[in-house]
């Protein structure tokens, strides 16, 4: 049995979405971040950063949303969520996943941290202007790489698309412009997938979401 630790409206949605895509049987454990569950010793033993998501699969304890989703794709190969190791597609898949985590997501995370996630005295509102600019640059790179294609890698939906779509939804929640109609179409199509709707329901059914 797979165990996922998460909280609604956070990056754990990526993992629950991937679990729904692969059709895995799993148990969802809410970590109520607002109530301080992430700082409890039991949870810190699983995730020393006190963050969600965490996946437990037997002896394996895994953190980092992209690493977990990639693990799930590899563990359920018939899902096609990850291209085979050593293939050209896998190289491109890695490129996009690393880009999404290190470039596309970072301006959003900067804004999140300096709006509310950091302790008040650590927040630097002057960073917002630069973060908005960086978002525009990264969104342009994503749009250029995607072109007129349906998916980032090859002809099928992979975890790279899942991560990109989750990040684009995050940007929408912050009213960050995509700057490219193709990205709007891409996001709309991916965010309508039934596995994502199931993931949201699964998470929101357990604890109230972060506003
Ligand atoms: N790079 C990590 C980031 C995880 C992360 O920052 N999660 C946030 C929620 S989206 C969290 O748990 N924050 C609680 C905290 O920092 O105390 C990933 O992608 O899994």
Least confident segment among 145-154, 163-172, 201-210: 201-210
Mutate which of 10, 43, 51 to test ligand 1's pocket (most atoms within 8 Å of Cβ)?
A: 51
Q: Say if residue 99's pLDDT is above 80.
A: yes
Q: What is the pLDDT of residue 209?
A: 66
Query: What atom of ligand 1 comes closest to residue 53's alpha carbon?
Result: 20
DSSP letters, 37-59, are: GGGSHHHHHH-TT--S-EEEETT
Enter the pTM of the model.
Answer: 0.97
Give mean pLDDT, residues 33-54: 97
**What is the CA(4)–ligand 1 centre distance, in A?**
14
Ligand 1, residue 39: give the atom nearest the CA. Answer: 17
What does the pLDDT average to over 68-80? 98
CA distance 123 to 125: 6
Please answer whether residues 53 and 12 qualify as being in contact, where contact means their C-beta atoms are separated by less than 8 angstroms. yes
Please state the rounded mean pLDDT for residues 89-114: 98
Looking at 1.20.1050.10, 3.40.50.2300, 3.90.45.10, 3.40.630.30, the CATH number of the domain 88-193 comes to: 1.20.1050.10
**Which atom of ligand 1 is least distant from the CA of 12?**
10
Tell me, what's the pLDDT at 77? 97
CATH assignment, 2-81+195-204: 3.40.30.10
The domains of the chain are located at 2-81+195-204, 88-193
CA of 11 to the centre of ligand 1 (A): 7
């Amino acid at each position: 049995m797979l165990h996922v630790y998460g909280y609604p409206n956070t990056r754990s949605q990526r993992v629950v979405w991937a679990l729904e895509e692969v059709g895995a049987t799993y148990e969802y454990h809410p970590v109520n971040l607002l109530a301080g569950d992430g700082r409890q010793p039991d949870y810190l033993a699983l995730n020393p950063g006190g963050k969600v998501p965490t996946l437990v699969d037997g002896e394996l304890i895994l953190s980092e949303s992209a690493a977990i989703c990639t693990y799930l794709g590899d563990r359920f190969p018939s899902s096609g969520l990850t291209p085979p190791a050593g293939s050209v597609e896998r190289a491109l898949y890695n490129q996009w996943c690393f880009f999404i985590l290190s470039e596309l997501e970072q301006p959003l995370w900067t804004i999140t941290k300096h709006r509310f996630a950091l302790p008040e005295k650590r927040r630097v509102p002057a960073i917002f202007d630069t973060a908005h600019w960086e978002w525009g640059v990264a969104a342009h790179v994503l749009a250029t790489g995607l072109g007129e294609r349906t998916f980032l890698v090859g002809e099928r939906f992979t975890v790279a698309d899942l991560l990109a779509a989750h990040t684009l939804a995050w940007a929408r929640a912050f009213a960050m412009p995509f700057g490219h109609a193709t990205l709007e179409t891409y996001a709309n199509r991916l965010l309508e997938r039934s596995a994502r709707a199931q993931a949201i329901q699964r998470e929101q059914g357990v604890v109230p979401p972060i506003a």
